[in-house]
Amino acid sequence: MTLTTTTPAGSILEVLRGERAARPPRDSESATGLRAILEDGLGEVSNRFTRTSPLVITAANVVRHADAIDIARAPIGRLRGALVAQFVRLIAVGHRSDNAFGDALRAWCVDQSSLELRGILDDLDADGRARLATEVSAHAATLTRALATVPATWSVRTALRSRLPLTGGAIVLSDVVDLVIGSSTESTASTVLVDVTTSPIGSSAERLLRFHALVHTLRTSVAPWRVAMFSTATGELVSDDVDVTLLGAAVDDVLAVARR
């Protein structure tokens, strides 16, 4: 895993995309084998679940035991993360903002926001709301500086959701990736998955990123080229090239969660 301790000059996306000529051929072979291993492994435990009441495995399940204390999971941290995630969506399409908190809040409210988090927002007093606004603005400023301007010619998707039924729907892999650059239809590996976190990057990052890579591979049948995590708290960026070893480790992570 590559660790960059400070935000690189210019766009982190430029760094992640690299030189087109240096990209390997796309891997459209691994998905079938990975799915078969998963289905076989999950078959042992799938009888405990049904299609109407499936076991849903998310990134949070996979990383939970790696970080005993995760400040981002606290309610206010989740609210902050939700607002910054909305801000990612806005700047990905070239939106220029001089009020990051206000814009993120408007976008979040119009976009079927979580009732639980809405309740937390409504319960904040004036000081708490001001603190949240300051925090979100600071994270948004780090993000804007790092992403710079996303070229309009790039294929960019935001908040990409996956919900993959396995073992006849008794087990579901569920995931959301903040930013996906590139398309799986190109002849070279070209998709980069970026997770944006408002926490410092912890020991669970590797596990989280390979879960993203596995789910995306099963979703599209093509392995992504790279996975990355950017922390708006510290400006750190970690990235990893996706290969069969990484995807195999992700399969082991999922099987471990299902057997718990």
Residues that bind another protein (CB under 8 A): 28, 31-32, 35, 51, 86, 89-90, 92-95, 97, 102-104, 106-107, 110-112, 152-153, 155-165, 169, 172, 183-185, 218-222
For residue 234, the minimal CB distance to another protein (Å) is 26
Between 65 and 161, whose beta carbon lies closer to another protein? 161
For residue 201, the minimal CB distance to another protein (Å) is 25
Only one residue has tokens 């976190």, namely: 197
For residue 108, the minimal CB distance to another protein (Å) is 9
Between 181 and 205, whose beta carbon lies closer to another protein? 181
| Whole-Å CA distances, 21 to 3, 25, 187, 240, 260 | 23, 10, 12, 18, 43
Between 128 and 165, whose beta carbon lies closer to another protein? 165
Helices (H), the chain: 12-17, 30-43, 59-63, 75-92, 100-110, 115-123, 126-147, 205-220, 244-259
Between 80 and 202, whose beta carbon lies closer to another protein? 80
User: Rounded to whole angstroms, how far apart are CA atoms 192 and 180?
Assistant: 6
Q: Long-range contacts made by residues 109-112, C-beta under 8 angstroms, separation at least 24? A: 111/86
Sign of CA dihedral 130, 91, 73, 198: negative
User: Rounded to whole angstroms, how far apart are CA atoms 197 and 67?
Assistant: 14
Between 77 and 169, whose beta carbon lies closer to another protein? 169
For residue 164, the minimal CB distance to another protein (Å) is 6
For residue 184, the minimal CB distance to another protein (Å) is 7
